[in-house]
Amino acid sequence: QSVLTQPPSVSGAPGHRVTISCTGSSSNIGAGYDVHWYQQLPGTAPKLLIFRNINRPSWVPDRFSASKSDTSASLAISDLQADDEADYYCQSYDKSLSGSLFGGGTRLTVL
Amino acid sequence: EVQLVESGGGLVKPGGSLRLSCAGSGFDVSPNAMNWVRQAPGKGLEWVASISSSSSYLYYAPSVKGRFTISRDNAKNLVYLQMNSLGAEDAAVYYCARQEREYASPVVPFDMWGQGTMVTVSS
């Protein structure tokens, strides 16, 4: 099944830690394909946040981390800050689709 | 500034056609695989199509296959998305996005995105 499932929303207080899950299947994450994560601030285009499962571009602080296991991946954001409020998307490749697949997105609210 | 700039969006009637363009500004897109990704109002991201640097490999999402055509003109530093038989379900902001590789490889993320161009489908 060509679907990446994310929770619609997560929230946390400033300074706290949240995690966002991304659950796939044997045709995408479970087939060994890499997972990338994107951050979309309100009213802007998505921006690469994590690439190849665990790697951060130079502009991304180390408060952001990610992991991948079996058919799922996870993004963790520690020391939450107000400007982390955004939508977060996971992405992988799906062999049934022969193309990219995005998760449904998770809206992070910093309380 | 190095960026991707989309254009060509607008209002189109159901069943109509539209061609979107994506220009590389400040850099050469010719070595890169390029993609179109769309986002319907209030919804998530949906990959639409990808094209390899030499146009040898084209891939489409099932939802647009047979109606949309991705192409590129490396001499003009442009990537296109021809959209035909448009329906309400195609209304979205369309983003072009770059992959830093010749082919649309799963290991290579979309490292640069344009600001998007809005397509509205309405009679």
* Full pLDDT tens readout for chain A, 111 residues: 569 999 999 999 999 999 999 999 999 999 999 999 999 999 999 999 999 999 999 999 999 999 999 999 999 999 999 999 999 999 999 999 889 999 999 999 999
> Which residues lie closer than 8 Å to A32 by C-beta, 6 or more apart?
none
Q: For residue A1, what pLDDT is reported?
A: 57
Share of chain B above pLDDT 70, in %: 100
| CA gap A90, A48 in Å, rounded | 10
Which of A100, A101, A106 to probe by mutation at the B interface, max B CB count within 10 Å?
A: A100
Task: Reply yes or no on whether the pLDDT at B22 is more than 80.
Answer: yes
Could you report the per-residue pLDDT of B34-82, keeping only the tens digit for each? 999 999 999 999 999 999 999 999 999 999 999 999 999 999 999 999 9
The answer to whether B121 and B71 are in contact (CB under 8 A) is: no
Give strand ranges (E) for B27-87: 33-39, 45-51, 58-60, 68-73, 78-83
Pairs across A and B, CB distance < 8 A: 64
Nearest-CA distance from B17 to chain A in Å? 24
Q: Is the pLDDT of residue B33 over 80?
A: yes
- Lowest mean pLDDT of A50-54, B17-21, B23-27, B102-106, name the range: B102-106
Q: What is the pLDDT of residue B14?
A: 98
* Per-residue model confidence (pLDDT) at position A2: 63
- Residues A29 and A97: their CA atoms lie apart, in Å, by 13
Query: Hey, which residues 74-93 in chain A have their CB within 8 Å of chain B?
Result: 87, 89, 91-93
**Residue type for A94, please?**
D
Closest CA to B74 of B90, B53, B58: B53
A45: nearest CB among B35, B61, B115: B115
